[in-house]
């Protein structure tokens, strides 16, 4: 179902007053107590073309919803894939995460293409995994014991360095009759993360018992309390949160504004 929109205050006004006094409202509404200040939406062709149309996020992740809201996609329908995430974990992490995200996108697109709600204008799917330096894929911990062991492994191996991979898949129907009838674009982002090796076992256990990382790949949330485990990163921060926003916007532009029309018949939905 579609998320409810959070009421936003008007954005701050510019001022050229050297005294630093706030500029006049210029006709903007006066902020009300309890409202959240937000920027004006991005005025981009791709986002304007899907405004007030069905945009589906094939993920139940609140973090991905929050990230997409930053580029103005606040009226999303949240429809997670119903298929089990059972890709072969012997695959390299890059391939594993891409196969999982593409499976999610295709599953939801196929289920909604003939929906009584109307054809979706865009389906966005994503999947995130954490990988040790040996290529072992770490998804969500299944127990407190596994959770503790997972974080200790990330701290102790390879000087605390490990990698986070997020695959993003965007699908949109084509206006033309070209097979397979949709545009599909993919991207996999990689970010290296270094845990602070001075983090104690006591801190690891204390963090695990906050339960913040219980529903997260690798068992920690870098955007929350889990930041106390992290010394530094090499790559994009939002990728570790669960969605590389810059790359996602580029995929949206590709499938909405200038989709590639296949030369040959593609895989059927």
Residue pLDDT, tens place only, 188-229: 999 999 999 999 999 999 999 999 999 999 999 999 999 999
138: β partners: 130
CA separation for the pair 126, 97 (Å, rounded): 8
pLDDT at 87: 85
The conformational region for residue 219 under phi > 0 = left, psi -120 to 50 = alpha, else beta, is left
Decide which of 3.90.950.10, 3.60.21.10, 2.40.30.170, 3.40.50.300 is the CATH code for 41-256.
3.90.950.10
The catalytic residues are 127
Which one is predicted more confidently, 133 or 1?
Answer: 133
Q: Where are the domains of the chain?
A: 41-256
123: β partners: 56, 171
Q: What is the pLDDT of residues 3-30, one digit of tens each?
A: 555 455 566 666 655 555 555 555 555 5
pLDDT at 89: 83
184: β partners: 171
CB-CB contact of 5 with 14 (8 Å) = no
Instruction: Note the pTM of the prediction, 2 decimals.
Output: 0.82
Position 252 pLDDT exceeds 60: yes
CA separation for the pair 190, 165 (Å, rounded): 5
CA separation for the pair 74, 170 (Å, rounded): 17
Where is 8: in which H helix or E strand? strand 8-9
Q: What is the pLDDT of residues 104-132, one digit of tens each?
A: 999 999 999 988 888 999 999 999 999 99
């Amino acid at each position: 179902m579609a998320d409810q929109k959070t009421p936003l205050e008007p954005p701050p006004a510019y001022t050229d007053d050297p005294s630093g006094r706030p500029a006049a409202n210029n006709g903007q509404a006066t902020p009300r107590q309890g409202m959240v200040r937000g920027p004006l939406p991005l005025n981009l062709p791709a986002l304007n073309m899907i405004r007030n149309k069905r945009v589906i996020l094939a993920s139940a992740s609140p973090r991905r919803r929050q990230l997409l809201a930053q580029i103005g996609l606040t009226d999303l329908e949240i429809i997670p894939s119903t298929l089990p995430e059972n890709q072969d974990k012997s695959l390299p992490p890059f391939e594993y995460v891409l196969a999982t995200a593409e499976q999610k996108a295709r599953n939801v697109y196929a289920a909604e293409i003939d929906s009584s709600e109307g054809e979706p204008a865009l389906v966005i799917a994503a999947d995130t995994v954490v990988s040790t330096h040996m290529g072992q894929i770490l998804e969500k911990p299944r127990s407190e014991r596994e959770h503790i062991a997972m974080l200790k492994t990330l701290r102790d191996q390879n000087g605390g360095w490990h990698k986070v991979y997020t695959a993003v898949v965007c699908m949109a129907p084509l206006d033309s009759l070209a097979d397979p009838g949709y545009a599909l674009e993919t991207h996999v982002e990689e970010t290296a993360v270094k845990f602070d090796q001075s983090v104690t076992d006591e801190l690891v256990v204390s963090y695990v018992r906050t339960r913040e990382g219980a529903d997260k790949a690798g068992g920690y949330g870098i955007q929350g309390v889990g930041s106390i485990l992290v010394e530094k990163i090499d790559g994009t921060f939002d990728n570790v949160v669960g969605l590389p926003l810059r790359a996602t916007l580029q995929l949206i532009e590709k499938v909405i504004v200038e989709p590639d029309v296949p030369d040959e018949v593609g895989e059927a939905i």
